[in-house]
Amino acid sequence: MFRNLSITLQIVMLVALYIFLYMPILYIVYVSMQTTAIWPFPPDFTGEHYVNLWHATDYHTGFRNSLIIGIGTGMISSVIATMAVIGILKYRVKGSKLIAGLFLSPLFIAHILIGISSLMFNKTLLGLPGNLFSAIIANATYATAFAFLVLLAQLARYDWRLDEAAMVFGATPRRTFREITLPLVWPAIFGAFIVSFLLAFNNLEISFYNLGATPTLPTLAWGSLRHGISQELYALAALINAAVFSFLGLLYILIRSGVIRMDFKD
């Protein structure tokens, strides 16, 4: 009975958390379909913001730039972090704790400090202008730490002796990675990529200071604040969420049907 009670409580908390997290987003979706953003009650549905969005090229550019930052950061961070975690967990050498500390250190540094320090470093000392590239680099420092954390926790359970077994049976190190390591750890790498992407895609505080004049979604939102956020941005956010939920739905179906496996039992 106690067991059921505690599980029920957990489920209630989970559902409550989802409601809490998605309440503002549902509101955004709702507002995106209303004629006015200020107190849009009673509802007056319209699709005009979506039509406007279709023609608003600056939002397209912003979205594309955000996507570039997200994907670029995701790739840099997940590759760097995967390599480092494998190095640290597989080859236990002295000093690996210190390196692990370095990789985790960005977690302890506020976004705004990362953003500002790289801005000042690039601008004042190197004389480099802000652009997409510098924004990706700055985001990647922070996202790498997250990716590292995700991978470290998941790969800590990986049994490296499996790789040794493969080598004894004739697999070269490269072959071992492709045949054994990668198939077993890809969900963790995928997770690290997703987390880095999520952090960078709509990041404001790091990107803001390093973008120069390049528009992204958060800087567009920032810019439109003066006259109230334009409803085209709400429409765009609604579309992004629709895409995300389609993706999660697809993932659900793929896992459900056994096409991909997220978890191998020992």
Write out the binding residues for other proteins, residues 162-221 only, by CB under 8 A.
162-172, 175, 179-180, 183-184, 187, 191, 194-195, 198-199, 201-202, 204, 209, 217-218, 221
63 near other proteins (CB under 8 A): no
What would the two tokens of residue 223 be?
């810019």
Residue 34: strand pairing partners: 45
Handedness of CA 14, 18, 20, 21 (dihedral sign): positive
226 near other proteins (CB under 8 A): no
Residue 45: strand pairing partners: 34
259 near other proteins (CB under 8 A): no
What would the two tokens of residue 238 be?
């609604």
Instruction: Compute the distance between CA of residue 167 and CA of residue 247 in angstroms, rounded to an integer.
Output: 37
Among 55, 92, 226, 227, binds other proteins (CB under 8 A): 92
14 near other proteins (CB under 8 A): yes
62 near other proteins (CB under 8 A): no
Among 46, 61, 117, 131, binds other proteins (CB under 8 A): 117
| Nearer CB in complex with other proteins: 47/173 | 173
Binders of other proteins in range 21-40 (CB under 8 A): 21-25, 27-28, 31, 39
10 near other proteins (CB under 8 A): yes
Peptide bond before 43: cis, by omega within 30 degrees of 0? Answer: no
Instruction: Compute the distance between CA of residue 12 and CA of residue 164 in angstroms, rounded to an integer.
Output: 45
- On whether the CB atoms of residues 104 and 148 are closer than 8 A, the answer is yes
CB of 123 to other proteins, least distance (A): 10
Which residue, 225, 63, 22, is CA-closest to 30? 22
87 near other proteins (CB under 8 A): yes
106 near other proteins (CB under 8 A): yes
Among 34, 53, 78, 158, binds other proteins (CB under 8 A): 158
Which residue, 7, 8, 27, is CA-closest to 19? 27
